[in-house]
Amino acid sequence: MTATGIGAPVRRKEDHRYITGQGRYTDDINRPGQAHAYFLRSPHAHAAIRGIDTAAARAMPGVIGIFTGDDLAADKVGGLICGWMIHNKDGSPMRAGAHPALAQGKVRYVGDHVAVIIAETLAQARDASEAVIVDYEVLPAVVYTASAAGTETVIHAEAPDNTVYNWHLGNKDETERAFREAAHVTRLDIVNNRLVPNPMEPRAAVGDYDQGEGAFTLYTTSQNPHVARLVLSAFIGIAPENKLRVIAPDVGGGFGSKIFIYAEETVCVWAAKKVGRPVKWNSDRTEAFLADAHGRDHVTHAELATNAEGRITGLRVKTTANLGAYLSTFSSSVPTYLYAPLLSGSYDIPAIYAEVDAVYTNTAPVDAYRGAGRPEATFVVERLVEVAARELGRDPAKFRMQNYVRKFPHQTPVIMMYDTGNYAASMKKALEIIDYKGFGKRKRESARNGKLRGIGFSSYIEACGIAPSAAVGSLGAGVGLWESAEVRVNPVGTVEVLTGSHSHGQGHETTFAQLVSDRLGIPIENVSIVHGDTDKVQMGMGTYGSRSGAVGMSAIFKAVDKVIAKGKKVAAYVLEADEADIDFADGHFSVKGTDRKLDFGSCALQAYVAHKFSGQDLEPGLKEGAFYDPTNFTFPAGVHICELEIDPDTGVTKIQRWAAVDDFGVVINPMIVEGQVHGGIAQGVGQALLEGAKYNSDGQLVTASFMDYCMPRADDLPSFDVGMTVTPCPSNPLGIKGCGEAGAIAAPPAVINAITDALGHEDIAMPATPQAVWRAAQKSVRRQAAE
């Protein structure tokens, strides 16, 4: 390993601009003549719009234009789409209501988009919004996940019982038999709490229209600018793709919420032509709470069957998933194909059956948030397994190890073919790191201090490297999930790598350069990564689902292969040798068995001057592209153990130790990978202890600012002990599995298993706030007194 090669903790190339205030985020971009957009949003969760009177507002100072859904419809601007078709149990397609970018006739959640006001300044646009008169007929609101399907109020005429689909997966008959024959059945009712992703950079958009060229440019906070262009062009109909450029510059975090194509971005780019001015919109934090896609929000009944030997023989779940008021871009896939196929966890479970009902409610749309379906599945599996071990009087670590998948490949009953892994190795290492043997002593010491100490396990698996295009196509995806790369070698041997992946914190400018520098034997400074601009990068599918290493870098790997192959042809002419005799290593092309060689930069120059070969023999230039379509999902897995202490007098929970041992396959940059693990754990701990989006019964979001929605802060978290095990992924050339979501998937059950271990009962829901823990601890105290 070299100091900058694969496996080295290279300090990030992108950091200089961030630490000096020179980052360039969408809100930092200002176009000449720019006007400002402000969205008038629904104050009601559910209402019919009888009329919108904009006359007074139009007369306000600075107002340039006010548009409503009628204006979009008149321009034939299409609605927002959901790109994943799910079929019901009976084979019929899901029932999706229309999703106009600006409301047409009805508003369906607080924050829904009623009109856009475009003015010279943001303050003027806001002021004018207050003069728009909207005649609402307020309708009853459907708010709660579990009861949405049973109410008379209908949110979309297309879905008469507010149900988007009734879906299922698994081997139902075998599962029912497993439960009939079980020696023991563990049952849990689980609520996976609703979360708001909250990247620190709020969403933003600047739409621009070039009248001379007839072309649009949209600067926006996107994790996948090419998908945004595709949807805005092919489905919404803003402009053909060759007349629409989407630029996602520095993006300040995404966590899934910036995958989706939203109303505001759509309206800004459309309105730029309408008003003949660039149009800028920047979300404030409360708008982000109201209108960014939320995450999670499942209500589940789950059961686990075990036999007399303590082997898990069956698992069944019945989940109701809240998709909010409209189907966001990938929402339908999250509680189905990103959820149920993970219900086997790390375990050899012969029979699994999952039923999922997805419902509409008068709340913000719900879509992928870090982990997307996999945290929900992991929470179900790891809570069930922990509780089963307790009910059976088994050590939770040993019970898990007894039931682990140990032979690979392993076909689960729920689609997935696990390719490789060593779950017991991760467990053993995690037990060492946490000092499991010393836990009893530490617990007794806590008890002496009046504290309740608990330990909780989470042995997660996830499916990443999303995903083989044919496979996802067969499951209903509207797109293929390959990735593209282009490696452009300049005449002096420096390299630009164009990638369809998008970095919004993941450090691609460093890790991707490490790969290319390592393989071409050139200094890392000579490699630049280009991403986030549809005019530069031809096509790409973007960054989510921990896919940029396993899929994005595999595409780069393939393109580098082609560059080396072409370089060998050039070198053969220059070195006057047979192409078959040319080797490439350490940045040099050489002739086998001789000392004749050509360094990479000289080869590049020869490729461009083209003096040593004719155009008939070989094309000049050194530039190659590749598309990589994965052949399987990847299966990162690991064990996280949380040890915590509860103060029963205050309900305050303090995490004392955290051991994380993850198998991400081959790691390119361990510093960056560990950083991803830390951040994921923090979001998972946030879900378990602090965060919860709450709507009241009228559908008002009562947690719509950082004062009401508790984000994890530095003093809520401990430092983390992070270890790794490695089984290389066999399905991609680099052996990478992916690391971006692991912490958020692993952490919530580890925390709740630790809290319930400390409390001695299972009666606590997320977020386990001090108030909730205090109440639960009183119950523990009463139980102890009764005993």
Partner 1 sequence: MATVSMTVNGKAVTGVIDPRTLLVQFLRENLRLTGTHVGCDTSQCGACVVHVDGVAVKSCTALAISLEGAEVTTIEGLATDGRLHPMQEAFREHHGLQCGYCTPGMIMAAVDIVNRRGNDLDEKTIREDLDGNICRCTGYHNIVKAIAAGATAMAGGSAADREPPRQAAE
CA 695 and chain centroid, separation: 24
Q: Which is nearer to partner 1, 80 or 288 (CB)?
A: 288
Kindly state the smallest distance separating residue 216's Cβ from partner 1, in Å.
24
Considering beta carbons, is residue 390 or 531 the nearer one to partner 1? 531
CB nearer to partner 1: pick between 335 and 638: 638
Over the window 4 to 23, marking each residue x when it contacts partner 1 by CB under 8 A and - when it does not, the resulting string is -------xx-xxxxxxxxxx
Stretch that binds partner 1, among 58-66, 86-94, 344-352, 666-674 (CB under 8 A): 666-674
Adjacent-strand bridge partners of 352: 315
Please choose, out of 199-207, 464-472, 493-501, 528-536, the segment that lies near partner 1 by the rule CB under 8 A. 199-207
Residue 723 binding partner 1, by CB under 8 A: no
Of 620 and 675, the one with the shorter C-beta distance to partner 1 is 675
Stretch in the footprint of partner 1 (CB under 8 A) among 88-96, 251-259, 345-353, 461-469:
251-259
Select the residue interacting with partner 1 from 7, 62, 253, 621 (CB under 8 A).
253
End-to-end Cα separation, the chain, in angstroms: 60
Instruction: Choose between 590 and 653: whose C-beta lies nearer to partner 1.
Output: 653
Kindly list the strands in the beta sheet with 527-530, ordered across the sheet, starting from the edge strand earlier in the chain: 527-530, 495-499, 483-489, 623-628
- The verdict on 711 binding partner 1 (CB under 8 A) reads yes
Smallest separation, CB 645 to partner 1 (Å): 15
Query: By rule CB under 8 A, what count of residues binds partner 1?
Result: 56
Alpha-carbon separation of residue 711 from 684, 714, 716 (angstroms)? 11, 10, 9
Q: Does residue 672 come out as left (phi exceeding 0), alpha (psi in the -120 to 50 range) or beta?
A: alpha
Nearest to 746 by CA among 675, 673, 658: 658
Query: What is the closest distance, in whole angstroms, from the C-beta atom of residue 284 to partner 1 in the complex?
Result: 5
Nearer to partner 1 among residue 4 and residue 732 (C-beta): 4
Residues 6 or more apart from 504 whose CB is under 8 A from it?
199, 223, 248, 250, 251, 252, 253, 254, 258, 543
At its nearest, how many Å lie between partner 1 and the CB of residue 107? 24
Q: Which is nearer to partner 1, 365 or 507 (CB)?
A: 507
Among 621, 675, 723, 730, binds partner 1 (CB under 8 A): 675
CA-angle at 481, arms to 476 and 482, nearest 5°:
150
CB of 705 to partner 1, least distance (A): 5
Residues pairing with 282 in the sheet:
204
Query: Could you tell me whether strands 483-489 and 623-628 are parallel, antiparallel, or unpaired per DSSP bridges?
Result: antiparallel
- Shortest reach from residue 746's CB to partner 1, in Å: 13
654 in contact with partner 1 (CB under 8 A): no
The only residue of 190, 267, 338, 682 in contact with partner 1, by rule CB under 8 A = 682
Binding partner 1 (rule: CB under 8 A), the pick from 421, 651, 743, 749 is: 743
Largest CA distance in the chain: 93
Residues 540 and 223: beta-carbon distance below 8 Å? no
User: Which range in 59-67, 162-170, 536-544, 678-686 contacts partner 1 by CB under 8 A?
Assistant: 678-686
Determine the interface stretch with partner 1 among 56-64, 135-143, 224-232, 247-255 (rule: CB under 8 A).
247-255
The sign of the CA dihedral 665, 671, 672, 678 is: positive
| Residues 262/197, Cβ–Cβ less than 8 Å | no
Compare residues 192 and 510 and give the one whose CB is closer to partner 1.
Answer: 510
366: which DSSP letter? Answer: B
Whole-number Å distance between alpha carbons of 507 and 393: 45
d(CA 485, CA 458): 36
Quick one: which of 2, 7, 25, 185 contacts partner 1 (CB under 8 A)? 25
Of 626, 537, 467, 539, the residue nearest 233 (C-alpha): 539
Give the one residue of 31, 172, 285, 318 binding partner 1; rule: CB under 8 A. 285
Q: Is 762 in the site for partner 1 (CB under 8 A)?
A: no
Distance of CA 428 to the CA centre of its chain: 29
Rounded to whole angstroms, the Cα distance separating 629 from 483 reads 7
Under the binding rule (CB under 8 A), the answer on residue 504 touching partner 1 is yes
406 touching partner 1, by CB under 8 A: no
Shortest separation between residue 18's beta carbon and partner 1, angstroms: 3
Are residues 279 and 207 in contact, defined by beta-carbon separation less than 8 angstroms? yes
Q: Which one of 140, 310, 478, 679 is in contact with partner 1 (CB under 8 A)?
A: 679
Closest separation in Å from C-beta 710 to partner 1: 10
Q: Looking at beta carbons only, is 46 or 531 nearer to partner 1?
A: 531
Determine which residue in the list 1, 3, 200, 580 makes contact with partner 1, applying CB under 8 A.
200
What are the CA-CA distances from residue 415 to residues 109, 331, 342 (Å)?
Answer: 35, 20, 9
| Contact between 180 and 194 (Cβ < 8 Å) | no
Residue 574: its H or E element:
helix 553-574
Q: How far apart are CA 330 and CA 84, in angstroms?
A: 6
Task: For the CB of residue 706, give the shortest distance to partner 1 in the complex, in Å.
Answer: 4
Q: Figure out which of the listed residues 202, 335, 638, 738 binds partner 1, where binding follows CB under 8 A.
A: 202
Sole window of 45-53, 451-459, 476-484, 670-678 interacting with partner 1 (rule: CB under 8 A): 670-678
CA-closest candidate to residue 668, choices 7, 5, 105:
7
Who's near 496: CB < 8 A, 6+ residues apart? 487, 488, 490, 527, 528, 529, 530
Q: Tell me whether residue 172 or residue 678 sits nearer to partner 1 (CB atom).
A: 678
Binding span for partner 1 by CB under 8 A among 206-214, 307-315, 605-613, 677-685: 677-685
Could you say whether residue 252 binds partner 1 (CB under 8 A)? yes
Let me know: does 317 contact 708? Beta carbons within 8 Å: no
465 near partner 1, rule: CB under 8 A: no
Give me the sign of the Cα torsion angle 729, 732, 735, 736.
Answer: negative
State how far the alpha carbon of 424 is from the alpha carbons of 347, 534, 604, 730, in Å: 11, 44, 48, 19
In the complex with partner 1, the residue whose CB is nearer, 28 or 617, is 28
Q: Does 707 bind partner 1 (CB under 8 A)?
A: yes
User: Which of 6, 27, 396, 737 touches partner 1 (CB under 8 A)?
Assistant: 27
Residue 639, Cβ neighbours under 10 Å: how many?
Answer: 31
Nearer to partner 1, 581 or 716 (CB): 716
Q: Residues 323-352 vs partner 1: string with x where CB under 8 A? A: ------------------------------
591 membership: H or E segment, kind and range: strand 588-591
Q: Which residues bind partner 1 (CB under 8 A)?
A: 11-12, 14-25, 27-28, 123, 198-202, 250-253, 255, 284-286, 504-507, 671-672, 674-675, 678-683, 705-707, 711-715, 717, 719-720, 743
